[in-house]
């Protein structure tokens, strides 16, 4: 029990002070038992009242040896108790203990989190990704090595590690063995390549997305093992051009995927082997009438994409349906597809 108490205390002087106080109390209790022959509880009570200077009364009459021992206990114990209580009060007032408890809570969350994304970097791109994941209730862990960004992430309530995202021990601590995917959006393209390479070595089957600043980095990130490489500048330029040419199309996509729309959503649903939807046509599955969703596309297991599939198109086990509909309808469809 004493060992568990010390584990919960911040490192440094407070642990030493608590250990000394425990030693004094234990020594005083044993001393009274041996010198005066008192029961253990009486000896403990006498020790506590002595070192805390409460001094209600003497439990029993003291012999001369007992009086000498009490004087020694007062000299050594009162100072130890005062030092320990002062340090404890200072720790609580300055926030050391709550900080320690928060750190242990984060450690427990890191040990239990699964099917999550690891977001490497909390800069302009990483912070937007984190907010979107939070809005969609998608579990994630942030890895960031710059202290101001770490503090900003913690203030948002995000589970965060202050470390280098390319270090294997850090990725292991972030739960890469249980992760759903990793997004590398750290400071430079070189750092992103290292993070992707480390993650791919540790998890050959992990879905990895890398952010690239230029075309040369796109090639390097793919060679390092990224499944997808995203260039924010290229996507931004394409979005601007599309907005100028076909503004209605852009408005529709933003309506279907934007965070400001709380009802309509575009999601992907994977069909399980035992699902009632498997090995049936779109018409036979009757998805529009049963769930009120629109099938935009079907991604086959070979990653071939069938856009606007015909009603007689077959839905096969392992296919991913790209569907548009209301959130409650999509949840019911997900349950049916996975059953």
d(CA 259, CA 265): 9
Read off the DSSP letter of residue 162. Answer: E
Order of strands across the sheet that contains 264-270:
264-270, 320-326, 294-299, 305-307
- The yes-or-no verdict on residue 104 having pLDDT over 80 is no
What's the pLDDT tens digit per position in 203-245? 999 999 999 888 788 889 999 999 999 888 888 888 888 888 8
SS3 180: coil
- Which strand (E) or helix (H) includes residue 79? helix 64-93
Residues 6+ positions from 51 with CB-CB distance below 8 Å = 24, 25, 28, 73, 74, 77, 78, 80, 81
Whole-prediction pTM: 0.62
d(CA 163, CA 160): 9
The pLDDT-based confidence of 59 (bands split at 50, 70, 90) is confident
Q: How far apart are the first and last CA of the chain?
A: 47
Read off the DSSP letter of residue 61. Answer: P
Q: Kindly state the tokens that stand for 232.
A: 């924010």
Q: Structural domains in the chain?
A: 2-96 (1.10.287.70), 114-236 (3.40.50.720), 262-338 (3.30.70.1450)
What's the pLDDT tens digit per position in 109-133? 888 899 999 999 999 899 999 998 9
């Amino acid at each position: 029990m004493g060992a568990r108490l010390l584990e919960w205390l911040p490192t440094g002087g407070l642990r030493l002070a608590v250990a000394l106080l425990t030693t004094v109390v234990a020594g005083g209790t044993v001393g009274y038992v041996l010198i005066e022959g008192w029961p253990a509880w009486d000896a403990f009570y006498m020790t506590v009242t002595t070192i805390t200077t409460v001094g209600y009364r003497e439990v029993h009459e003291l012999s001369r040896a007992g009086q000498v021992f009490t004087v020694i206990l007062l000299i050594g114990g009162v100072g130890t108790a005062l030092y320990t209580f002062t340090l404890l009060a200072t720790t609580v007032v300055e926030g050391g203990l709550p900080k320690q408890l928060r750190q242990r809570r984060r450690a427990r969350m890191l040990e239990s989190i699964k099917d999550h994304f690891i977001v490497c970097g909390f800069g302009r791109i990483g912070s937007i990704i984190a907010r979107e994941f939070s809005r969609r209730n998608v579990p994630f862990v942030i890895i960031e090595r710059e202290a101001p960004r770490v503090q900003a992430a913690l203030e948002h309530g995000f589970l965060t590690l202050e470390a280098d995202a390319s270090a294997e021990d850090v990725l292991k601590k972030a739960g890469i063995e249980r992760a759903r995917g990793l997004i590398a959006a750290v400071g430079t393209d070189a750092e992103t390549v290292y993070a992707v390479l480390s993650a791919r070595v540790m998890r050959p089957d992990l879905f990895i997305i890398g952010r690239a600043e230029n075309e040369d980095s796109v090639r390097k990130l793919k060679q390092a093992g990224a499944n997808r490489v995203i260039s924010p500048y290229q996507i931004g330029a394409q979005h601007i051009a599309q907005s100028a040419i076909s503004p209605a199309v852009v408005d529709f996509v933003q309506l279907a995927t934007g965070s400001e729309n709380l009802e309509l959503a575009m999601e992907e649903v994977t069909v399980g082997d035992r699902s009632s939807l498997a090995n049936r046509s779109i018409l036979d599955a009757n998805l529009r009438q049963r769930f009120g969703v629109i099938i935009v596309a079907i991604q086959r297991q070979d990653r071939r994409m069938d856009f606007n599939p015909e009603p007689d198109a077959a839905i096969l086990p392992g296919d991913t349906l790209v569907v548009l509909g209301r959130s409650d309808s999509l949840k019911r469809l997900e349950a049916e597809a996975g059953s």
